[in-house]
Structure 1
Amino acid sequence: MSDTEIEQIATEIAGGRPPMVWFTAAAVGVAEGRSGKVVALGDPADGDFLQVRPTGSKDVLSFSPTEVTLTKPPRPAPPAQKSAAAPKTTTRKDPPVTQPSTVTSVATPSTPPSVVTANAAADGADSAAKAAAAKPAGPGTAGTTAPKPAKAPAARKRTAPEVTVTLTGTPDGEWAVDVVNGKKRTIRGLPVTSAAVAQAAKVLHPEVAEVVAGILEAARGVQQAKVAQLQAELEEARKLLEELSE
């Protein structure tokens, strides 16, 4: 499916007209030639970003552009019915009878025995062939194979997307959380408090809690140093203000 067709699908979806598509041989879990409607488009970077609801199904599945097409496939021609061919029989032609000119009466010749025998054999072979064609093939009949049942299409497996949670901290004690769901970043740089980080670390594992406690202690020391520096600057500013007031 080309980029132009993708843009056409997006336009029809925006207009409230979900376009009809047909599944190709590359589609997984859906029979080739089956139809469906594209109800939404995702991020092309995901690969399977076409959200399609197959005809007759309530489920919405994800497919790539190679698994569907806007071109309706032609209907397969019905299988031709094979008729049982009757065995060919050959009948020997009798040579023409030459009558002498002096014969005063003409006698009708009877059918030669050889012709009657050939016709009877042909009729017997024809009857045997028809009986064999009408008789259902048994389990032990040689030369016949029972039709194999068609395999049902494999169900498309649904796998839960991988979720990645990243906790980022600074030496000043500022914390943020990023969440990636599958290939999409759903949360970016969400601020969290140091108290929430410490509580979560205790719930996760003692080793995690120990590492986070060390980081928080270092951040606490940085903030205490800043407070001391600010207090010193404040005290110096007060002294200057008092000198200016005299």
Structure 2
Amino acid sequence: MLSTEDVEGLRAVLESGKRPRVMFAPSAGQMAGQLGQVVRLDDPSDGPEFVAVRFGKDELGFSPADLLVPPKKMPAPRAPEPEPVAAEPVLEGPPLLPPAPKPTITTMETGVVEKVVAPRKPAKVKAPAELTVTLTCQEGVWSVQAARGVKVVAKPTPVRAPDALAMVALLDAPAVREAVEDLVSAARAAAEEEADRLRRQLAEVEARLAELPQS
């Protein structure tokens, strides 16, 4: 993984106008051992994946734990060894007669020669990264966020409880809708209980205030 000194070194190289290379660690999955170019360092407070790396035509976000400093000298690919050629056997005996020449047959044809061109295979189109939208409720507060692949495209945004109910109402998932309704009902009950407690406190304060003589 990249240390704090490594990240600062990458930042210095980017400020000089160059794009440093990094190697993907085993935690990066299928890209492990391959190289990419750092194009940007985002604010670490936005999330752990603040190192923007270009791999091929894609630009993905990674955390320092998924990256390594590449070695100065990469091992060159080993050329395959040539297969041994078997020696031709030497036959002993009288010399063989040269083969008889093959007769040459000349054929004259008249007509049009058509050139057949095989159809090209369509270029493979790379599928876009998956979009994940997450609706979260913590302590009665609803929020929604979105991510495309490993890159966060929308940070957690507050959502009103009626809007959360409207979102799940569009889904054909009764279990999810029931769970959201239970959370909203529990939040409503807690709010009503808090309101009753505040009303009682206000009534007690007003009663004590009424008992005090006016100046």
Report the TM-score range of the alignment, normalised by the length of the smaller protein.
0.3 to 0.5
Flag the structure with higher strand content: 2
Whose Rg is larger? 1
TM-score (norm 2): 0.46
TM-score (norm 1): 0.41
